[in-house]
Amino acid sequence: MKTRHPILAFTIARLKEFIRRPEAMFWVYFFPVLMAVVLGVAFRNQPKESVVVDVIQGPKSEVLFKRLSAMPDLKPELFSLQASRKRLRTGKTMLAVTATESGNDLTYEFDPARPGSLEARNLVDAKLQTELGREDVFASTDVHFFEPGGRYIDYLIPGLLAMGLMGGGLWGVGFAIVDLRIRKLLKRFMATPMKRTHFLLSMLLSRLVFMIPQIVILLIFAWLFFGVQVYGSWLALIIVILLGAFEFAAIGLLVGSRARTAETASGLMNLVMLPMWTLSGIFFSYERFPEIVQPFIKLLPLTPVIDALRAIMSDGKSLVDILPELCVIAVWCVFPFFLALAIFRWND
């Protein structure tokens, strides 16, 4: 009977072990889809909401209320001054309007630090001033632009893809090695002819196999339920995904090369992942952070993967356009793998 190559044999063993763990399959395949559903629904495109305006009760409040009620995009409500200030404090309204006894002047009360309050004040003032005869200096036309590639869900999906690659590489490879060490299985491998290179490459190969259905499920789901499209080359997208998977699998190898307990491995993985969760732009742009830290953020392993995926999926860019990101990814593929190969021990 022909003996299988150690890389192929151990890769098949890892695949069988993974399939027998339904909780692992949930976190790898269905958790990213669940994240896409929750965030996609929460930040879906919705019709423009009316601006809630509190009209303070007084001698001229009924006249002001009727004028505001006849205006589109406004939802006036009558309240006392005390009740309205409580609503302002709790965020139930963004603007309170009081008409003077003469009815010719208005007082606007709002919190300028609250998002949308100043815009609400300017909107109400502009509508009332126009009604009283103020003329615009020039004519303007509004064109509403709606493009699938510009929605939040289109921004989110590449981030979730990269997040799945990171989590799968670190936990699926790094923690798997630590688990084998805890169960004393690495000692048995040490007694076989298997080389360290064969073992580590088989861990990487098994991770790449796990990744294929993970990516396919998320992309198909995003396309069917949210209309997310890939505007660039599918070949370029596949190359970036493969490089990203190899990158984080290599980092997972490095993290698990010496860790001997689950607690140590979990701590190291969280130490690696948490900065990228918050800084690399999964859910919002890293350009919100100060410019002085952005060069550091761009060198994190996750950032170039997200940037490359978004460039291909949303902007239709080619591999040539994302060469800087590919170079950073390549460094993170090579350096952790060879460092892991140098420091890996079957048992410490």
* 4 CB burial (10 A radius; 0-12, 13-18, 19+): exposed
Q: Could you give the residue range(s) of every CATH 3.40.1710.10 domain in the chain? A: 51-131
Identify which of 26-35, 154-163, 298-307 has the greatest average pLDDT: 298-307
Amino acid in the structure at residue 68:
L
Radius of gyration from C-alpha coordinates of the chain: 28
Q: Encode burial over 243-280: b for 16+ CB neighbours within 10 A, e otherwise.
A: bbbbbbbbbbbbbbbbbeeeeebeebbeebbeebeebb
If you write DSSP's letter for every residue of 26-89 in order, what string do you get?
IIIIIHHHHHHHHHHHHT---PPPPEEEEEEPSTTHHHHHHHHHTSTTEEEEEE-HHHHHHHHH
Q: How many CB atoms lie within 10 A of CB 151?
A: 19
Indicate whether 326 pLDDT > 90. Answer: yes
Residue 151 in this model has a pLDDT that exceeds 90: no
pLDDT for position 298: 92
- Write the single-letter amino acid at 17: E
Portion of the chain with pLDDT greater than 90, in percent: 12
Q: In degrees rounded to 5, what are phi and psi of residue 60?
A: -110, 15
Identity of the highest mean pLDDT range in 90-94, 119-123, 290-294: 290-294
The pLDDT, as a whole number, for residue 1 is 45
Which residues have a Cβ under 8 Å from the Cβ of 305 and sit 6 or more positions away?
162, 165, 166, 240, 243, 244, 247, 325, 329
Helix (H) / strand (E) element for 239: namely helix 234-256
* CATH 3.40.1710.10 correct for 51-131: yes
> In the sheet where 106-109 sits, what is the strand order?
74-79, 51-56, 95-99, 106-109
Q: For position 141, what pLDDT does the model report?
A: 47
Residues 194-231 pLDDT 10s: 677 777 777 777 777 777 777 888 888 888 887 888 88
Most confident of 33-42, 94-103, 122-131, 319-328: 319-328
- DSSP state for residue 229 in the 8-state scheme: -
Per mean pLDDT, which of 29-38, 175-184, 283-292, 324-333 is the most reliable?
Answer: 324-333
Residue 142, SS3 per DSSP? coil
The CB density around residue 329, as the number of other CB atoms within 10 Å, is 24
Would you state the pLDDT for residue 302? 93
The span from the CA of 314 to the CA of 55, in Å, is: 44
Helix H or strand E encompassing 97: strand 95-99
Residue 233 contacts residue 312 (beta carbons within 8 Å): yes
CA pair distance 347, 93, nearest whole angstrom: 63
Candidates 210, 100, 228; CA nearest to 157 is 228
25-78 pLDDT, tens digit each: 555 556 666 666 665 655 555 556 678 888 888 887 888 888 888 888 788 888
